Structure 1
Amino acid sequence: MRRHRLRSWVPPVLAFAMLAGAEPSAGSPDARLTNSVAAVPPLAWGACPEAWIGSSANRLGSRLQCAAMAMPLDHLAPDGRLIEVGVLRVSAAIPAQREGAIFLNGGGPGLHPGALLHSLAAAWTSMRPHDPDEADKRGLAERYDLVAVIPRGQVGAGPIHCRTGLAPRFQYLPTHTDDTNWNLVLAEARDIAQACSAPGHARYVSTEQHAHDMDAIRHAIGDDRVHFYGISYGSMVGARYASLYPEHLDRMILDSPLDFTRDYRAATVATLEARQKRYVETVVAPLLDDPARYGLGSDSGAVSTSIAQLPGDIREAMAGYVESPVQLAAALHAASWMRQDPVPTFDRFRQIIQSAPLAVEAATAIRVRMEAARIARALYVGWSTEPHFSLGAEAASIRTIVPCNDVNWTRSDQEIRQAAQQYAARYFNIDGTETLDELVCSRWGGSAVRTLDLVAMEGARRFLLIQSEKDSTTPLNATTRILDRFNQARMLLVRDSDLHGVFNYTRSPCIERTAAHYLLTGALPESGSRVLACDGTLGNPLHAIPGEPHPPFTAPVPVPVLVDGSSTAAHDELRR
């Protein structure tokens, strides 16, 4: 049985900022739990451990500081047990002009905030104060502390290592739904649930407990109100804080938000639907429009049938990676070559890939052969037997624990199996992760937190949603539900963009100026609409040529009606 690795999705825009595999300096996962008062005074700021911020050079000097605070293990029912939670701060560059603090959450659940906090603060600090496209970000660096509370379970907050990082024991679930393989999936889910619920503080690693940790830090800093900037899952953190402490929250940006008006499972299905739609529109449709371009003949109907009948091992090799017509064409060619030849060895398959005739232009042929070679490696070389974590052992563990603690997962194994079969028939780019995750949480023993109080969140001030029109991870229709639910919500829509994690990751003055000015001042362009739109991202700032001027500024335009037909008219009484 060839073992495969489940491919957990990671926001690509945040990947550069994560700490991969950093280990705690000492102690077991429970080493930071105690029944006595913490030995270190709360918020005794000092130098940051390398394990918290990575090994890159500190570009912020003494402004970058770290501390730890003893928190109640359970804020909902304190019983004397404590957990030490770390916090990072980049202090305002001009202390005399300090106006407050901005709390940052870069997503997850489970991503360590250290490297992202450092990178973001350094970028804002480097902005030119007299450039209209950069001045507000420079103002943020000069007048606000940037603060990140380390999520429980991460390095610096009772680290947990409960995932093995090994390939699962079961076969690729979308094409192996037989009883034998299903029983292996159940065994895997049982073992993960047992391992991840075993640490003494695992039940208290949740979005709600993290929000209470944030407010304890706010209180220790001495600010009556704070601001919040959350990306992806960070929106759930912001929503939870807004529902618990609306009186202590001022401005809030929720960038590429998860739909916190519903639960994780609903958000997962929304993502699956959006990714399938993108796959059909950007991969399948262009291929069927001109199959001859990819060496597949002129019969679109026959090609469509071949796509539906792709062998399971080819589909497994490509799961999660088919993002272009060339990749899908390579899968179809590989399947055809395998039908014509037994392909007994990896070397033989490579020979076929290099020598098989392709009736396409030379550049396309090169790309098809490259993608086919990748399929061959996945089919014959397989995965390493060594543990592998894309974002570190702690992040993988927290990603399992937090959803199980946040939500009651009530479906039976049979219902989950039926859903898995439906997913396999309906969605192409899946690998079974969503099914395993639900099975793990169904064995967890119930939620450890209260349901998010959406009514209480109505007491929060006006907040800004930032959303790419074609984001397939947190789709527009899900973010529109947030907009519809909260009259004080406003949206900055990015037309013709699929970027997940927008603010600070574009070259668009329309996007960057609008979001930065709101975070700095609370002001948005005057409009009768609750939605403003910018056209495209205009590229990634990391790809810009040094000294290259910014693209020209175009003000965001009001959007009267969104794609689902809902009105975006503003409620004047809620402009605050």
Structure 2
Amino acid sequence: MSQASRASSSGRAVLGLMIAALSLGLSPDAVRASGALEWGQCSPDLVDKYPELGDRLQCAALRVPRDHHDPGKGKVALPMLRVLAGKPDQRIGSLFVNPGGPGGSATGFAASMGALFSMADPAHPIARFQRDIVDRYDIMAIEPRGLAGQWLFKCRSNIARKATESFDVDPGEANLANIEFNARLESSACQNQPHAALINTDQALRDMDLARAAVGDARLNYFGVSYGTWLGAWYAATFPEHTGRMLLDSNMNWTGSFDEALLDQPEAFQRAFEETLIPFMASHPERFHLGSDPVKIIQDYRQVRPQLRSKNRFWALSADNKQLEFSARVVAGVLLVERILAAHPDIDLDATLMHVDRYFDELGETDANAGIYAKNAARWHFSDNPPRPEQPFELEEEESVYRAVVCNDTSSQNDPDFWRSQMFAGSAQYSLRGGHGLQQPCHDWALPVVEPRDFGAIAQTEGLLMLQASHDPITSSSGAMKAFDFTQNARMIQVENNLTHGLFPQLTQCVDAKVADFLLEGTFPGRMTHCETPQPGEMSVAERSAQPYADADRADLLRQRMRELSTSKGLL
């Protein structure tokens, strides 16, 4: 073949690829930027981490514009990962996933989800739905920009943080000033990094759209948790014509702002605490030794001294109904230690631990672990916060991406007095979280805010399926309902009396069967479906009839990895 003929043939091939890619919704610039995906074996450590997946676990890199609105700024490669469908002849397409954060690893979530679902027993009456999903979909992820690959984003400064105490313990001016100094430092350390303005949801959803087209899917099928619901809704509003089956689990109010989500949390945690955890404790007085009156337990907890509450706040309520027993033991332990401290004002740690042992001996408690939670509560109370070493300030990639997305996506209140007032109000109103987490998130953020979405465009899609716990403390049901009410073609499955953040898989017929019908068949439930919650230890006959997974311990580990990725920021 002559040089001219080869050039002509090459040109026709490129043109054919261009036409095929354009039919999937890519612009010419995007086609040239992305290039072809070359799937291969993942890194040895990743392969070793998920041995059950074998050759189904594959990795690639996708080249995307550094700035989708200005392709001339160059390109960056982002990691991708997929778990191939277990039954290729029945394959529907790809199911893209994102665990939230922002800053959670989508590739880690995809691998863990693929491994867990592949272990589900196809004969189990409920777990079989997970197996069906992973048999018929490639579980797919593109890593959020800034986390890995050619572009790691880290907030750094040569200035050191100042030592602080929890605001609820020390609301004095000096501590407040140090809290605000650290907030300014974090904000400055993030926005002063090169390309900080390009770490946002608008860029991320366009990365995901390039990935969708690169794998050959005409529409994006998607499962997002927490902030992943924000990302999914923004995608649907930007590319309604490319939006397929979209499952949004533990929903943010994507029509609002990150400030609103942050300000919702203290009340949401308190509501979950008082309406879910405390009634559970009161219904088992023989187990927690606090009586059967939930109002009294709530009142007693409000009287706990701030340092004891503050030091134990992260363990006093887990956003997982399966951990109610653990949270209840922590709260009971805190209340026992408070009674000991109130009776003996000058007591030290060793004497407190002796009183804990005496208390359980007098109860005739035979469980050797009964006093562990109270002893841990006492140890935390008496522990000192070590002073931070004077060293340059640096956030890890996950926290850096979180900060940039939160501050780049929506405008934030920039008045320090506003945030002070919120901390004082939270400390006075909410015994569980107090004013924790209400420090100013985007102090003097000067980078441009992303252009708002027209969420009315979601009406052009087939609709969204929202999954929500009634008492989710991290993404509140009140915020989720605002997004639901606005989005008239959305459907919601609400799990009542439940505080789990990241519901699916729930291992209940009401939730899992409806999710599977939607993802596998495109069948929506009604506008609003209510599902009841089994309490810890309560299982149906069908659920008890077989183990849901081939290896229960391995399944617990994989579920824990998925949960950690969707709650790793402690906020969203």
Other-structure match for 2:477: 476
Give TM-score, length-normalised by structure 1: 0.76
Label 1:487 to 1:334 Cα distance change in 2 as closer, same or farther (>3 A): same
The answer to whether residue 521 in structure 2 is matched with residue 521 in structure 1 is yes
Other-structure match for 1:567: none
Equivalent of 1:376 in 375, 378, 386:
378
Report Cα offsets for 1:255-283 as digits up to 9, x if no partner.
11112121122223333222212222345
Other-structure match for 2:569: none
Letter in 2 for 1:71: V
The answer to whether residue 163 in structure 2 is matched with residue 162 in structure 1 is no
Other-structure match for 2:271: 277
Contact 1:161 1:394 in 2 (8 A): yes
Q: Which SS does the other structure have where 1:102 is aligned?
A: strand
Deviation of residue 448 (structure 1)?
A: 3.6
The answer to whether residue 107 in structure 2 is matched with residue 109 in structure 1 is no
Deviation of residue 223 (structure 1)?
A: 1.9
Letter in 1 for 2:353: R
Distance in 2, matches of 1:383 and 1:364, equals: 35
Letter in 1 for 2:382: Y
Distance in 1, matches of 2:278 and 2:417, equals: 32
Report Cα offsets for 1:387-419 as digits up to 9, x if no partner.
9xxxx9322222222111111112400111011
The answer to whether residue 483 in structure 2 is matched with residue 490 in structure 1 is no
Question: Matched residue pairs, number?
Answer: 501
Moved more, 329-338 or 191-200: 329-338
Moved more, 276-285 or 289-298: 289-298
Letter in 1 for 2:511: I
Moved more, 289-298 or 172-181: 289-298
Report Cα offsets for 1:15-66 as digits up to 9, x if no partner.
xxxxxxxxxxxxxxxxxxxxxx999954221222357x47414322332211
Question: Cα RMSD (Å) of the superposition?
Answer: 3.9
Contact 1:92 1:143 in 2 (8 A): yes
Other-structure match for 1:174: 168
Label 1:252 to 1:188 Cα distance change in 2 as closer, same or farther (>3 A): same
Deviation of residue 79 (structure 1)?
A: 3.1
Q: Which SS does the other structure have where 1:523 is aligned?
A: coil
The answer to whether residue 246 in structure 2 is matched with residue 252 in structure 1 is yes
Deviation of residue 249 (structure 1)?
A: 0.9
Label 1:293 to 1:532 Cα distance change in 2 as closer, same or farther (>3 A): closer
Contact 2:85 2:135 in 1 (8 A): yes
Distance in 2, matches of 1:209 and 1:112, equals: 16
Letter in 2 for 1:89: R
Other-structure match for 2:59: 66
Report Cα offsets for 1:262-307 as digits up to 9, x if no partner.
1122223333222212222345668899999977899999987664
Letter in 1 for 2:488: N
Q: Which SS does the other structure have where 1:236 is aligned?
A: helix
Other-structure match for 1:151: 144
Give structure 1 stretches of 5+ with no counterpart. Answer: 1-36, 551-576
Q: Which SS does the other structure have where 1:274 is aligned?
A: helix
Q: Which SS does the other structure have where 1:401 is aligned?
A: helix
Label 1:157 to 1:88 Cα distance change in 2 as closer, same or farther (>3 A): farther
Other-structure match for 2:404: 401
Report Cα offsets for 1:151-207 as digits up to 9, x if no partner.
11212362234379x997211112322211111011111221222223313221112
Give structure 2 stretches of 5+ with no counterpart. Answer: 1-30, 318-326, 390-394, 549-572
Deviation of residue 241 (structure 1)?
A: 0.7
Contact 1:295 1:358 in 2 (8 A): no
Other-structure match for 1:100: 93
Deviation of residue 454 (structure 1)?
A: 1.0
Distance in 2, matches of 1:296 and 1:531, equals: 37
% identity of equivalent residues = 28
Letter in 1 for 2:372: M
Distance in 1, matches of 2:289 and 2:241, equals: 62
Contact 2:59 2:82 in 1 (8 A): yes
Q: Which SS does the other structure have where 1:435 is aligned?
A: coil
Equivalent of 1:421 in 421, 424, 435:
424
Label 1:199 to 1:488 Cα distance change in 2 as closer, same or farther (>3 A): same
Letter in 2 for 1:232: S
Other-structure match for 2:511: 511
Q: Which SS does the other structure have where 2:438 is aligned?
A: helix
Distance in 2, matches of 1:83 and 1:270, equals: 36
Equivalent of 2:546 in 542, 545, 548:
548
Other-structure match for 2:69: 76
